[in-house]
Copies of this chain bind each other. A is one copy, B any other.
Amino acid sequence: MNNKRRQFIKTAAIGGVLAGTLPRVLAAAPPASKDAASGKKNKIKLLKDDIILFQGDSITDAHRKREEKEANLQMGMGLSYPAHASAELLCQHPGMNFKFYDRGVSGNKVYQLAERWDADCLDLKPTVLSILVGVNDFWHTLVNDYKGTIQTYRDDYKALLDRTKKTLPDVRLIIGQPYAVKGVKSVDDKWFPGFLDYQAAAKEIAGQYGAVFIPYQEVYDKAQQKAPGSYWTADGVHPNLAGARLMADAWLDAVTV
């Protein structure tokens, strides 16, 4: 790709102007999360009165209390990265009037997000939407006889984002990379190379929809230079205390106030 074209794609992706209408040929666009020329990471600028929704599976759910539906409730935000990230932003920026919601649901794959998307996303009218989904779309093909493929994941994810952009054209997107910590309990050799396609798809979709992309796999890989995988996650998928904070740091690094 020549530089001019790359620049166009980058600019478009940052602005989100091509969201939902990006032709297939641009699928290999550079990830939205880093500006190759400046080396500066693209970030979501959080604005006053932002409504920030965390969506995903058990990693985002993290034992939240379903009945705690209002914004910024301690038990409603669960025990993981959404709680740590939101607590920090609420504490540091009381004047911003942020409203945080967590609507992760354990076990969810993309099609299951779609099933509850009206109530658990669109009706909340988020201005910032953070999604982390994909590990079950692959994992459940190994353990739950789930028949979805990488194409199902990609198609379902794009349909979900198209639907979101239709109702919420100005929503700012954060897409987290599905990750797995190899060698820790549930994550064995059977995951590879199959799971890598899901990781690549999430990154590609982030680029296509002008989302800021959080490379959680890289985050966990780097963390393992400091301590073994089991220090961050008990089963290779769900973060523990240290892992939750690790992910919150990565999430916070994807936004600016």
* Complex interface residues of chain A between 218 and 257 (CB less than 8 A to chain B): 223, 226-227, 231, 240-246, 248-249
Cα–Cα, bound, A238→B211 (Å): 37
Chain B contacts for A75, CB-based, 8 A: 63, 79
Cα–Cα, bound, A195→B79 (Å): 33
Q: Is the CB of A227 within 8 A of B84?
A: no
Which of the four size classes fits the interface of chain A? 20 to 34
* A72 interface neighbour in B74, B84, B240, B246, Cβ under 8 Å: B240
The number of times this chain is found in the oligomer is 2
Q: Is the CB of B245 within 8 A of A95?
A: no
Q: Is the CB of B227 within 8 A of A72?
A: no
Chain B contacts for A240, CB-based, 8 A: 72-74
Q: Is the CB of A231 within 8 A of B94?
A: yes
* A74 interface neighbour in B77, B223, B227, B241, Cβ under 8 Å: B241
Instruction: Assess whether A175 is interfacial by the CB under 8 Å rule.
Output: no
Chain B contacts for A226, CB-based, 8 A: 94-95
Cα–Cα, bound, A136→B80 (Å): 29
Cα–Cα, bound, A248→B88 (Å): 10
Interface residues of A (CB under 8 A from B): 62-63, 72-75, 77, 79-80, 83-84, 86-88, 90-91, 94-95, 100, 223, 226-227, 231, 240-246, 248-249
